[in-house]
Each structure stands twice: as structure tokens, then as C-alpha cells.
A and B are shown apart, each in its own frame.
Chain A
Amino acid sequence: MRLKALVAVLGVGAVVACAPVQSGPANTSTDEKTGQLRVWLFDEVNRGPKEAVVKEAISEFQGKHSGVTVDVQYIQVSSRAERFKAAFSDPKSAPDVAEFGNTDLAGYVSAGGFSELDLGSWSESKDLVPTILDTAKVDGKTYGVPWFVGVRALYYRTDVFTELGLKPPATLDEIAPLARQIRQKKPELIGISAGGKYLFAALPFIWANGGDIAKQDGGKFTATIDSAEAKAGVAKYTELIKDDICPPATCAGNGGDASVEAFRAGKAAMTIGGDFNRKSVDASSAAGKYGVVPLPGRTSGSIAPAFAGGNLLGVMKGTQRKTLANEFLQLLASKKYQQKMYSAMGNLPTFSDVQKQVSDSDKFLEPFTKTLQSGTKFVPVTPAWAKIEAQTVLPTMIQEVVTGAKNVDAATADAAKTMNAAFAS
């Protein structure tokens, strides 16, 4: 009898639980005007100055809204995927406002994580640089406010260039011969520190040659990484990771940080670095003997389109304090606080007038703001991109070419196939 009952109970349980669990849609009907507003921001290596600016914004906000407290949690960039996934699956543990990387946007939005923003009523928003604001949009709808932007340019060692009587490259095609020449004369130096996993350094080569990762037709993405133009760019970039410029044994496994690290250690004559790398390079053996120019395009005087990286601030879909969340977001992302964040962290602002203001007062920023003004590009805005990134499709493609495992044609064709599978799912 008891056995039968047990079997029956298990049977009922199996019928009830015959599909994997899903959390229900978050309840968004309430809009409380008091209580605690929860905010997630990214932790940084040197968080002090960021925290000070955020505290200032909080006290200004709390001064205006009585009965409201703001609780900030600093989360690790490396574990952000798990944290956000958990927050989307369980709205109760989710914050109201969060900082997140713009490449993660499409995945987060399709997971139902962030709510659409109405920036029309916010007067400052009209000064946001359009191409940067585009990185906060999915299918034409805005889900975030760009908090800061990061672009990369060409760092080079002025002492080495002076000694060898060289000038920074004027075109993209000049980089490889120039780097080869430096390594020939100074074999202890890497000509240009490029990395097999450093996608954001490789993309400008593809874009400058007229290629792209993928194209969008009526909401559907198709990989174009195997087009003739993109292949030319891949060939140009992978040419740098060869024994006579940047030996694969050293460089093939490097991402952005490791590539810049070689430059910091004084082991590379050039590298592709971001405006955000400045502080760390200034605290290294390359300090005081380096210059930065925009990464040149195919023709002299042109600039290769850079990847517009950066972070956004968004309002979570499940928030119980929608109005407060939007107000706090607009305060933290405002011109005033972007200016303060620039002074504290060196983060490039996303408003055109604030950008001009800071680059006028700081010569160092000129190559970066020039790069921004000449037009930036972005990775495909689709949830599939997160998958393509996690599966390291493009770094693997670069590494396959660099190690000689496949030629450019085969590697790009395989990458395109994997990407199309991800776009289709």
C-alpha cells in the first residue's frame, strides 16, 4: 500500500514538474516613492575615486528625496554574467539600477532584464553622441544611458622611434613593415604587441578594410566575417602575430590586458591601448616615453573605425521604484557627474560638449576624441553575440590563422558557420 502511495506521489510530482523551471514575469505595477534604492556598479582595480563620486551623487539624491536611501553594491566584472543571470532569474535579489557593459546589452534585454528608457523628458540627453547612444539601443529602443565610452588608439614608444629615426605609421598597411623594422634593429623588442585574443584590436583592421563581423537584413543577422574585405583585415591583423613582429608563442594567447602589459613592461615598441589604460601605463616603465596617435586607416590622414566600448546605466525591469530609479540614473549619468567621473577615473564622457571640454583641457585625450569623432563601430546587437563571445569564436579564428592551423579562408569560413548557427538559434 505504502509503496503504491509513494509511486503515486512520485508520479504526480513528475507530471507537475514535467518542464524545466521558469521564473514568472516580474511584477512591475508598483512604483514606490520611498525606501531603499539598490544600485550595482562595477568594481575597479582602484575603486576609491569612483566610490567618492558615487557617494557625492548619493548624498545629493538623498537630500532631494526624503525617506530614500541608496545602497550601492560593487560587483566584479569577471563574475558579472553569473550575477546578472541570477538577478534576472530572481527579481527579488535584483538591483533597481545597474551599470553594465554595452556588449552585454542585447543579451540582457532579450533575457527581459532591463526596461526601456524614455529619455525625451531629460533635457541633457540631446547632447549624447549619437553613435555612442546607438550602443544602448536594441531594435531602435533605448535601454541604457552611456555612462562612459572607451576607445583604443596606437601607443608607441617615443624614445625608440627617435633613436631609430622613425615616425608613427600614417596608414594601416604601414604598421607591419614598421614593426618588423623595429624588431630587426632591436630584437629584444616586440614590434607591436598584438594579441591572438585581442578582438578589439583586430576589429579596426577588419572595419578599415571595409569588412564587418555580420550584417543585418530585416532583423536577421548573417556573418560577413568571410567576405573578401573582412578577410583582408584578418590577414593584415594576423600578419602582426608572427615571429618577426610579435612571436605567436608570446602573443597568440594574449588578450587586451596582456598585450598592453608587454608595452608597460617596456618589451614592446607599439601596442593598441585604450584611453582607460593611461593610468597604468603612466605607472610603468614606459611612463614619460610614449605617445599616442589614432590608429590610422587605409589612406594617409584617415582613422580606422574603432570599437566603441563602454558602460551603460540601466533600470532593471523588475524594479519596484521605477521613478526613483530613473531619477537616480539621470543624476549619475548627468553631465555634472560624468565630468566628475572623468576627473576621478579618466572615464571619457558620452556628451559631445563635455567630451570637447575635457579634451581641450587635456592634450592626451586628443587622439581618442579624434577617433570617436571620425566614427566608431560596434559588435552585432543581438543576444547571439553573448554566445559568440562566450564560445570565443573570433579569438579562436585569429589563433587558428596565427598558429597556421588553418589559413585565413578556412578559419573565417568556419567562424562564419559557427556565428550563423548562433544567429539562427
Chain B
Amino acid sequence: MTAKGQGRTAFAYLTPALLVLAGLLAYPIYQLVLISLYDYGQEQVSGGAPLTFLGLGNYQKLLGDQQFWTVLGQTVAFAAVCVVGTLLVGAFLAILATRVRAWARTTLFLAALGAWSTPAVAGSTIWLFLFDANFGFVNEVLGIQGFSWTFDKWTAFGLVAAQVIWCSFPFVMVTLYAGIKAIPGEVLEAAALDGASAFRTAWSVTLPLLRPIILVVTIQSIIWDFKVFTQIYVMTNGGGIAGRNLVLNVYAYQQAFAASEYGLGAAIGVVMTVLLLVITLFYLRALRRSGEVL
């Protein structure tokens, strides 16, 4: 078979997968970009008004909006806190899991899986009950009945961040635990024979071996936490007092989709997609550098 023929055969084999990808990924993104270039509201959807092509008008409007930048900044900072928190809690518990007895480990894993599998809306609501100003368990224990956790901007963000960390640390913990367990015993033994301290072993042996896994969970967490919607929407009642707890996804929903400004909403969607694509590219490059086969 000639090289050209081989290429054709390969292409034929790939066609079904390409079609599925095109249908599930390319077409929606194409539509998203297309809609973002139009003034596309409910009137236009139901045929009551003609379509107007705006070009980059929606993007201009968005990028010229002071609130968009505030919300973007808040989203980045909020995601950063959640990612760091998730990684620290997950890593700490993963290490703990390698050190404790089997029954304690099983209990820890069951509890973590419970948090992981709780639907976001249910989890957020339960946390709200726990932190209710007047009837909440937490305020009762602390003896501060009447204190509202969701009123102040920072306590509200803190509470939501804690909830996000609570429901996303299990992924980090389970993945890191598997990573630690996969480190060959001989390597650690060799380090011990060379007289390395526990800290030195962790820093110079375990950590480098875990690097690829830590990268994966970090970037996964960044993508997840950047897209947080449910927790903010439920726990701060749609973005907090005077909208001071808005993050990008909730902002897009409120400003664009609930207000039937689908064009503007699509523009926000495109901006978010681009931002996350940049992060993903960074992720792929980092993976390649760490020697993983892609």
C-alpha cells in the first residue's frame, strides 16, 4: 500500500470518531461563536424580531464593562483559594491515609466518598442549614446565634470556598493516595539506607515521583473551581448582597441568560472557553515536559 493509501485508510478508520467529536464539540462551539456575534434575544429566537449582526459588539460591551473585570478578578482569586485549599486538604489526608490502620483508612475513604457523591445543590443547602444564623448547628456550638455567615463578603466567600473544598478534596486525596502507593518500596528503602531523614525522603524522593499526578489534579481543580456555579448561586442567593459574591459563571447566567441576552451570554461563554483552553494547553505542555506519553 502506498503512503497515500495508508493515510486514506487511517482517515476512514478515524471518521466515526471525528464525526462524533464534530457533533458533540465542534458544532456547539461553532454555534456559540456564531450566536456571540449577533444581537440574539428572546424576540429573535421566537422570530418576533429580525437578526442583527453585531460583529464584535457583544465582546466590546463585555470587555468595556467594569463589573466584568471585577467579577473576573474575583473568580480567579476565588478559584485560586479553592485550588490551594483542595490540594492541601487532599494531600494531607492522602498522607494520613497511608499512615493509619486499615479500619481508619476505610472510614476516611467512606466519608470522603460521601462528600464527593453529594449533589452540589444538596451539599450547598446542607451547609447553609449548618451555618444558618439563628438555627444553625455551627452557631449554636460557637455560641454566636444571630451571626450571619452569608452577609459579609469575605465570610460568604470563605464559607462557599470551604464547601467547594469539602466536595472536591476527595478526588485529590484518592488520586494522590494511589500515587503514593504506586511508589516502589525499594526506592524508599534505598533512601532510608542512605540515611535520608523522613523530610528529605518526602522532599527529594516522593514529591518528584508524584509530580505528574500533582500536575493533573492541580489543573483539573483549576478548571473545576473556575467554573463554580451551583455553590455560589445557592449559598449566596444568586451572587450575594449587591452582587458582591458574583463569579463569572453566575454573572453570565444573571446578566445574559436570565435576561435573555443570549448573544452576550455566548460571548461570555467564548471568553471562558478561551481562558480554559489556555489553561489546558499549559497543562498539556507541562505533562509533556514531565515525560508523560500523550
* Interface, chain A (partner B; CB < 8 A): 2-3, 14, 18-25, 81, 85, 88-89, 107, 110-113, 196, 248-250, 252-253, 383, 386-387, 390-392, 396, 399-400, 402-403, 405, 425
Q: Does B203 contact A (CB under 8 A)?
A: no
Picked from B30, B38, B46, B261, the residue with its CB within 8 Å of the CB of A113 is B46
* CB-CB nearest in chain B for A406: B242
Residues of A within 8 A of B261 (CB): 387, 425
Picked from B49, B133, B254, the residue with its CB within 8 Å of the CB of A250 is B133
Picked from A24, A253, A396, the residue with its CB within 8 Å of the CB of B237 is A253
Residues of A within 8 A of B44 (CB): 20, 22
Complexed CA–CA distance, A209 and B110 (Å): 61
Given contacts A22-B45, A391-B254, A399-B241, A249 and B133 within 8 Å (CB-CB):
yes
Residues of B within 8 A of A403 (CB): 241-242, 244
- CB pair B31 A20 closer than 8 Å: yes
Complexed CA–CA distance, A248 and B241 (Å): 10
- CB pair B38 A19 closer than 8 Å: yes
Minimum CB–CB distance from A168 to chain B (whole Å) comes to: 28
**Given A386-B259, A402-B241, A405-B244, 14 additional A-B pairs, CB 8 A:** A18-B34, A20-B40, A20-B44, A23-B46, A23-B47, A24-B47, A111-B42, A111-B45, A249-B133, A249-B148, A250-B146, A253-B237, A253-B241, A391-B255
- CB pair A392 B260 closer than 8 Å: no
- CB pair A250 B148 closer than 8 Å: yes
Given contacts A253-B241, A390-B258, A405-B244, A20 and B35 within 8 Å (CB-CB):
yes
Interface size class on chain B is 35 or more
Picked from A107, A392, A400, the residue with its CB within 8 Å of the CB of B42 is A107
Complexed CA–CA distance, A403 and B239 (Å): 15
Q: Does B48 contact A (CB under 8 A)?
A: yes
- CB pair A22 B259 closer than 8 Å: no
* CB-CB nearest in chain B for A399: B242
Residues of A within 8 A of B189 (CB): none
Q: Does B170 contact A (CB under 8 A)?
A: no
18 example contacts (A-B, Cβ-Cβ < 8 A) are as follows A14-B30, A19-B34, A22-B45, A23-B47, A24-B47, A88-B46, A111-B42, A111-B43, A196-B242, A248-B241, A249-B133, A249-B152, A250-B148, A391-B258, A392-B243, A392-B254, A399-B241, A403-B242
Residues of A within 8 A of B51 (CB): 19-20, 22
Residues of A within 8 A of B42 (CB): 85, 88, 107, 111
Residues of A within 8 A of B242 (CB): 196, 396, 399-400, 403, 405
Residues of B within 8 A of A425 (CB): 39, 261
* Interface, chain B (partner A; CB < 8 A): 8, 11-12, 30-31, 34-35, 38-40, 42-49, 51, 133, 146-148, 150-152, 237-239, 241-244, 254-255, 258-261
Complexed CA–CA distance, A25 and B46 (Å): 8
Complexed CA–CA distance, A313 and B258 (Å): 23
Given contacts A110-B43, A249-B133, A250-B148, A3 and B48 within 8 Å (CB-CB):
no
- CB pair A252 B151 closer than 8 Å: yes
- CB pair A3 B258 closer than 8 Å: no
- CB pair B43 A112 closer than 8 Å: yes
Minimum CB–CB distance from A248 to chain B (whole Å) comes to: 7
Complexed CA–CA distance, A20 and B242 (Å): 34
Residues of B within 8 A of A387 (CB): 259-261
Complexed CA–CA distance, A249 and B11 (Å): 63
* CB-CB nearest in chain A for B53: A19
- CB pair B151 A253 closer than 8 Å: yes
Residues of B within 8 A of A85 (CB): 42, 45-46, 260
Complexed CA–CA distance, A342 and B42 (Å): 34
- CB pair A383 B43 closer than 8 Å: yes
Picked from B147, B150, B258, the residue with its CB within 8 Å of the CB of A253 is B150
* CB-CB nearest in chain A for B22: A10
Given contacts A22-B51, A110-B48, A386-B259, A396 and B243 within 8 Å (CB-CB):
yes
Of B11, B35, B42, B151, most buried by chain A (CB within 10 Å of CB) is B42
Complexed CA–CA distance, A88 and B239 (Å): 29
Minimum CB–CB distance from A232 to chain B (whole Å) comes to: 21
Complexed CA–CA distance, A392 and B259 (Å): 10
Residues of B within 8 A of A399 (CB): 241-243
Complexed CA–CA distance, A224 and B131 (Å): 40
Residues of B within 8 A of A24 (CB): 47
Residues of B within 8 A of A196 (CB): 241-242
Residues of B within 8 A of A107 (CB): 42, 260
- CB pair A112 B46 closer than 8 Å: yes
Complexed CA–CA distance, A191 and B262 (Å): 43
- CB pair B258 A81 closer than 8 Å: yes
